[in-house]
Amino acid sequence: MHRPAISTAILSLLAACGSEPGVYDIPLPEALGRLEQADTDGFRAARQCGILIHLSASGPRDNAITWRVTSSGSEVLRFTVRLTAEGDGTRAAIEVPEDPKGGEMYDGRKTYPRPAVNQPLRPAIQELVDAAMERRPYDVMRLPEPRNTDRVCGIQRAGLESGSFRFGVDDKPGMDSRQSARMREAEEAEPDRGAADASYGPPVDGAAGSWGECGP
């Protein structure tokens, strides 16, 4: 009889189907330890746009870790992964702040003049958690399609990758950081020309200017 072998094969198949997304067959303390080691460098390399960003973790606190994303010293995004025990395993819940214009920040439908990361954000964080739980490097190819919906992000990242352009949250509309700095110097020399546009923090429906700042 081959019944034991067949049973083993079926069990393997079931295991291969995997459990519910975000639920890991790892005890909570171990899962928390793995989450602390999450590959944020890989996440940043795969998801960043044209501005330089830094991720810093706070926690764990109440079995949750929050990552602050800053650029030029200002917080541009934060997200939290909260773990709860579920049977012998652990459930990971992702929390992304609400957007003032509705929905969540970076939900795949927002437009930012100087985006921090590509959209949609949630699947990208899910991969960060999955990779941590499996103790492997971040793998952007595991993200479901569409992986990158933010055209502005893609354009500004290409500028950064080319080595020719840098972007920052304080850039003037339609300019990169170097052009903005030159413009500010000129304005300081000629103070009546008007103050800088400081509208680069929150998302907008569509901003004028080059570098893909128009809405899709």
CA-to-CA dists, residue 40 to 48, 63, 114, 129, 153, angstroms: 11, 18, 20, 10, 19
Other C-beta atoms within 10 Å of 77: how many? 20
Residue 16 CB contacts under 8 Å (≥ 6 apart), including other chains: none
**DSSP 8-state secondary structure symbol assigned to residue 167:** B
Q: Where are the alpha helices (DSSP H) in the chain?
A: 3-17, 28-36, 40-47, 121-133, 151-162, 177-189
Q: By rule CB under 8 A, what count of residues binds other proteins?
A: 8
Closest CA to 213 of 149, 152, 136: 152
Residue 101's SS3 state is coil
Minimum CB distance to other proteins smaller for 134 or for 161: 161
161 interacts with other proteins by CB under 8 A? yes
Tell me how far, at minimum, the Cβ of 161 lies from other proteins, in Å.
Answer: 3
- State phi, psi for 184 to the nearest 5 degrees: -65, -40
Q: Please report how close the Cβ of residue 163 comes to other proteins at its closest, in angstroms.
A: 4
CB of 133 to other proteins, least distance (A): 26
- Comparing CB distances to other proteins, the nearer of 48 and 180 is 48
Q: Considering the rule CB under 8 A, would residue 182 count as an interface residue with other proteins?
A: no
Q: Which is nearer to other proteins, 24 or 67 (CB)?
A: 67
Residue 166 is a binding residue for other proteins (CB under 8 A)? yes
Residue 138 beta carbon to other proteins: minimum distance, rounded to whole angstroms: 14
Of 100 and 163, CB closest to other proteins:
163
Q: Of 19 and 56, which has the nearer Cβ to other proteins?
A: 56
- Interface with other proteins (CB under 8 A), residue from 22, 27, 40, 52: 52
Q: Residues 18 to 47: which contact other proteins by CB under 8 A? A: 45
Residue from 23, 160, 196, 204 binding other proteins (CB under 8 A):
160
- Nearest alpha-carbon partner for 49 in 155, 143, 123, 122: 155
* E strand or H helix that includes residue 83: strand 74-86
Which residues are near other proteins by CB under 8 A?
A: 45, 48, 52, 160-163, 166
